[in-house]
Amino acid sequence: MSNQPLAERLRPKTLDDYIGQQHLVGKGAVLRKMIESGNISSIILWGPPGVGKTTLAKIIANTLDRPFYTLSAVSSGVKDVREAIDKAKKTQFFNRPNPILFIDEIHRFSKSQQDSLLASVEQGIVTLIGATTENPSFEVISPLLSRCQVYVLQYLEKDDLAKIVEMAITKDLVLKEKKITIEENEAMFRYSGGDARKLLNVLELVINAEDGDEVVITNEIVTDRLQKNLAIYDKNGEMHFDIISAFIKSIRGSDPDAAVYWLARMIEGGEDAKFIARRLLILAAEDVGLANPNALLLAQSTFDAVHKIGMPESRIILSECTIYLATSPKSNSAYSAIDAAIALVKSAGDLPVPLHIRNAPTKLMKDLGYGKDYKYAHSYDNNFVEQEFLPKEIKNERFYFPQNNPTEAKILEKLKSWWGKRFEK
């Protein structure tokens, strides 16, 4: 038993033992109701690593007493999919519920691999449960996605992590034989990043590094052990999200050398080039923004090219885009503006559109004042005339604040020439 990793030994077998994701599997939650009804549709579980996607799929199969077939998109091809489906067909007898086919990392399946699943899902030969760390809207073909319910799993909270640690030291057959005292848990929680598997790996590593049956865990001990055993800590490639974070922050921080290094780490680690290209596209809008609007165009071209070309050639395109974004001036003004506007919409509710800028397609609407006194900008000098476009309740609100870079400095001067004092604060 002790040869199994701690995370595997502690894998829950029932919903009552499952920790976290209460919005899905808590009492009365949508997925729990579906499971308890005995009728489960094809679903996709979308969430970060280590939050229980595989475990939940196995619990569903166990609870419903269904045959369970599993494939990894990393190592399986179309042939493997067809073989799994053939096995599923052979288990179908009369009114017996159809087997569950679990596909881990379904976002890595090619279009042809996903196409090979369609007929079996449609005909009810298998109930598909896919797990993905990527947005399925981007990575799962539309015909397959339309036949699945998508459920979003979240990083585990501190209370969840604390319950997992407590369960490990009190219920695990190996650990409960030791006297383990948790004096501090902040470092374990911080290094886990809300990932249960990573948390248990850290706990196991620290305990195994101590001599004797009495173990005291502190933040200092955890940090020291992890620094000395980084390769063990990351033995399952769990630094995926740490490295993409380092990559993005290096570009945001305008360091092209660091950015290219982290790009190389991802490429050598087998990261999907499309995943990297999509992150560059988001970053171009979020962090470079209006300081260099061409960045978004180059990132979009990179995204398109990577989809068409593939590796290894795409490494050059990704490198060019990475360096361009890292060396571009930075602005998050567009990002800040839309978040501020959304926050106001949530707090202020649906404020009425001012009458003068409403559409007036019918005579009744015109009689009610829709469109009255609207000033058509093109009829005025420089195609501009001052008028109010916001609801009166928030007419003085500002969302967009140009930042200190050459491009937005020009934008600010233009806005001042139009609106005067409104853009001088």
Across 342-370, average pLDDT: 79
Residue 328 has pLDDT above 90, yes or no: yes
Domain 158-233: CATH class, spelled out: mainly alpha
Q: What is the pLDDT of residue 117?
A: 84
Q: 98: left (phi > 0), else alpha (psi -120 to 50), else beta?
A: beta
pLDDT, tens only, 137-183: 878 888 888 889 899 998 888 899 999 999 998 988 888 888 888 98
Residue 1 has pLDDT above 60, yes or no: no
- Residue among 268, 267, 284, 285 at smallest CA distance from 276: 267
Residue 299 has pLDDT above 50, yes or no: yes
Residue 348 has pLDDT above 60, yes or no: yes
- Under a CB-based contact definition with an 8 Å cutoff, are residues 88 and 126 in contact? yes
Of 17-26, 229-238, 245-254, 286-295, the range with the lowest mean pLDDT is: 229-238
Q: What is the DSSP string of 324-350?
A: HHHTS----HHHHHHHHHHHHHHHH--
Domain residue ranges of the chain, discontinuous segments joined by +: 21-152, 158-233, 240-326, 350-423
pLDDT, tens only, 382-414: 888 888 888 888 888 888 888 988 998 898 988
Across 69-94, average pLDDT: 78
Confirm or reject CATH 3.30.70 for domain 350-423, answering yes or no: no
Match domain 21-152 to its CATH number in 3.40.50.300, 1.10.260.40, 1.10.8.350, 3.40.1350.10.
Answer: 3.40.50.300
Confirm or reject CATH 1.20.272.10 for domain 240-326, answering yes or no: yes
